[in-house]
Structure 1
Amino acid sequence: MLTKVPANRADYPVLTALWRRSVDATHHFLTAADRENIQAALPTYFAQVDLQKWLINDELLGFSGTSDTELVMLFIDPAYFRHGYGHEILASLITTDQLTTVSVNAQNPGALQFYRHLGFEITSQAATDADGRPYPLLNLTRPTTA
């Protein structure tokens, strides 16, 4: 059974290790230096979001970070890729947190396909990521029904 549990500072090392496994499997476009710099900054990023751990049978399978109605981060352990957990997590967050926006790296077509499959549409783009690195972002919005 999938369970959402609030994360805290004590969880940062295990979340960082999961982030690294996930990024190594999906973010081939990152330079080694940028990967290391982002990893070093994760505690700062974690502290800025509503950080949740996602467990299956008490085993960590991923984590998410939200801010208001924006999904800021969602990372799944590669061992759990393509089992439907990402969809289940996102569907839960859409319902509980009323998520409507997310940004994805343009060089990560798998993530774009994932969000588009769940109803998100590209609404704008940026030439760099939020920290000014040369990784274009696609900003997506999920239309809401009135």
Structure 2
Amino acid sequence: MEIEAARPCDHPTLITIWEASVRASHHFLPEADIVALRSLILEHYFDAVRLYGARLDGNLVGFIGVADGNIEMLFVAPAGMGQGVGRQLVSHAIAALGVRRVDVNEQNEQALGFYRRMGFVVEGRSPLDGEGRPYPLLHLALADEPGAD
């Protein structure tokens, strides 16, 4: 697997991965929110982060977006889930990009378990997501961070 900086020409593939991953893991999101988020990601969020894609046999199978030491997005194509794609992307982000923190939807227990296995611990909670919707966020930090329990 190769991890490389994503390019704007990769965005159509990345949004397809995002949507398939969200539909497989974010069962709490209604269709209207998925549609609204899709537009926001394409029009704003991809440009607000450093994007890296994971390629397997030349095909994008997952991606990570990082800003200011935070994982802002991590999505893996459903066929690649449980295959080490996310682990390699997060490991790259920690080692090469200085990532120390991530927020996770509280309802996404699979993601919470994944980040805990990667060494992150819960250090706080917000009742709303970043868009002000009623999807609580858990704030995680690497266990060796000051203040992380």
TM-score range normalised by the length of the shorter chain = over 0.9
Q: Which amino acid aligns with 1:120?
A: F
State the superposition RMSD in angstroms: 1.4
TM-superposition CA deviations, 1:55-109 (whole Å, max 9, x none): 0121111011000211110100001111122112211211111211000000000
Which residue pairs with 2:135 in the alignment? 135
Distance across 2 between alignment mates of 1:14 and 1:85: 16
TM-superposition CA deviations, 1:94-139 (whole Å, max 9, x none): 1111211000000000000000011100011111110101100000
Distance across 2 between alignment mates of 1:59 and 1:145: 35
Which residue pairs with 2:102 in the alignment? 102
TM-score using structure 1 length: 0.94
Matches within 5 A, 1:27-46: 27-43=26-42, 44-46=44-46
Q: Displacement, 1:5?
A: 1.9
Give the aligned length: 145
Which residue pairs with 1:122 in the alignment? 122
Q: Which amino acid aligns with 1:40?
A: S
- In the alignment, structure 1 segments of 5+ residues that lack a partner are none
Q: Displacement, 1:145?
A: 7.0
TM-superposition CA deviations, 1:11-47 (whole Å, max 9, x none): 2111111101000100000011111100111121000
Q: Displacement, 1:51?
A: 0.9
- In the alignment, structure 2 segments of 5+ residues that lack a partner are none
Which residue pairs with 2:11 in the alignment? 12
TM-score using structure 2 length: 0.92
CA contact (8 A) 1:68 1:97 kept: no
CA contact (8 A) 2:63 2:89 kept: no
Identity of matched residues, %:
36
Which ranges of 4 or more aligned residues in structure 1 deviate by more than 4 Å? none
